[in-house]
Amino acid sequence: MGRALAAGTVAALALTGCLGPAGSARVASADASGDGTLRIGLILDNTGKQNFLNASELAAAKLAVKEINAAGGHKGKPVELLPETISTDTAAQAKALVAAKADVVIGPTDSSRAPAAIDVLANAKVAVISPANTAAALSNYKSGGYYFRTSAADIAQASVLAKLVKDGGARTLAVLHEEGDYGKDVAAAVGGAAKQSGLEVVADAEFTPGQAQQAVAAAKAANPDAAILVSRDGAQGAIAELNNAGLAGKKLVLSDGAVSKYGAGLGARALEGARGILPGVFPSAAFQADLVAVDPGLKDMVFAAETYDAVVLAAVAAAAAEDDAGTSIAASLVAVSGGTAAAGGTGAGGSQPPSVSCTSYKDCVGVLRAGQRPDYDGQSGRINFDAHGDITESNYMVSTYGEDNLPTVDGTEAASSSGG
């Protein structure tokens, strides 16, 4: 998830010979060095009100490993999913997984804990694929090419937010954003996307959670046709102020952090007609059924698709490299995702064979056996890692609020990872 990175946590990790100036260099191909058994570890770091996310990620990982092993595993041997723990001590989890001989680790969920995981795992040459990290700063974190994520950076939503405003008939726009990296980064990206789509941003105001009155007053004074709220912790209070100012309802579009089931927490019909977005795709009925078969008590499937895809991609990368070592997996991930790496790195260019789309581990292995390059498109959509290890296309579910201040998913949108 996109909790802001703490000050100092984006310091560089120096791995000799692997890093470019922005941390985006990819791992070069290496001689096989694995022990023949592909071991996948999980970092589950959700506690408190977010602890429900652990179950969805664990069920998705178990489902992926089950299907991989049903298709023959890695080089004829079962893939191992290492025993999971739940802890906010990410560095300790990472060290334990290194000791357990993990080749690739799925996680963490919280962006603020990613640096601790990367520092330990990349140094041990273990590939890291987060299904949920969204902080924009992680795109340039110096991992030596061992870090990837199957969820989009926060700024990717900017073009979708601008599109929803324009689709609503607005020509002028006010942006209200909560203080902090999330608010500033997304608001800046929204400004760029609005300009590209022909919208005029007439106000851009920052507020502190619980103190949105002044920012809303500035937005109202600009008399915009519509408003975008980029917020997390302070969203409910800001919406109440926007409603009082006549800028809620159909005039309002909410960023992913501001979307919630507000119900009676807001005034009657305060959000009726407002729109909001959440990242990802709605799980298919078949995927939901498969997940519930793994965990009959599963009720929420947030990040399940992204976790499932991370595990499958790791196994496909190992199959393509014919090696289970973390370095080989990291070197192959860009290519098997259908993406391209930076000049000088490995990826889909150069002497790579033609790519063929595949949607399961079994099908991707079949593509490899045919002498072609698999391009895995999974439950979360197209992946196509870029030189930063980011997906290049992201999907969003669009919801419209009813008179009960509750959102109903009624559409989908796609965006590039650039936020523009």
DSSP string for residues in 147-200: EEESS--GGGGHHHHHHHHHHTT-SEEEEEEESSHHHHHHHHHHHHHHHHTT-E
pLDDT confidence band for 354 (50 / 70 / 90): confident
Give the model's confidence band at 248: pLDDT under 50 very low, under 70 low, under 90 confident, else very high. very high
φ/ψ of residue 229, rounded to 5: -105, 120
Instruction: State the Cα–Cα distance between residues 315 and 318, nearest whole angstrom.
Output: 5
Please tell me whether residue 258 adopts helix, strand or coil conformation.
helix
SS3 call for 128: strand
In which band, very low, low, confident or very high, does the pLDDT at 106 lie, cut at 50, 70 and 90?
very high
Residue 15: pLDDT above 70?
Answer: no
Backbone angles phi, psi at 131, to 5 degrees: -90, 0
The amino acid at residue 293 is A
- The fraction of the chain above a pLDDT of 90, given in percent, is 83
150: amino acid identity, one letter? T
Of 190, 186, 160, 155, whose CA–CA distance to 174 is shortest? 190
What does the alpha-carbon distance between residue 180 and residue 112 come to, in Å, rounded to a whole number? 13
Token code pair at residue 178: 């909560």
268-279 CB burial, b ≥16 within 10 A, e <16: eebbeebbbbbb
CB 230 within 8 A of CB 257: yes
**Burial zone of 347 (CB within 10 Å; 0-12 exposed, 13-18 middle, 19+ buried):** buried
Residue 281 pLDDT class (50, 70, 90 cuts): confident
> Could you give the CA distance from residue 201 to residue 224 in angstroms, rounded to a whole number?
8
**Could you tell me the pLDDT band of residue 341, with boundaries at 50, 70 and 90?**
low
For tokens 């259908």, the residue is: 338
pLDDT at 11 over 70: no
Q: In the structure encoding, which two tokens stand for residue 90, read together? A: 């990410």
Radius of gyration over every alpha carbon of the chain, rounded to an integer in angstroms: 22
pTM: 0.85
Which H or E run contains 55? helix 52-70
Q: What's the mean pLDDT when you consider all of the chain? A: 90
Q: pLDDT category, 416, cuts 50, 70, 90?
A: confident
Asked whether residue 169 carries a pLDDT value surpassing 70, the answer given is: yes
Residues 6+ apart with CB under 8 A from 81: 40, 42, 61, 62, 65
Task: Give the Cα separation of 47 and 319 in Å (integer).
Answer: 34
Residue 135, pLDDT > 50, answer yes
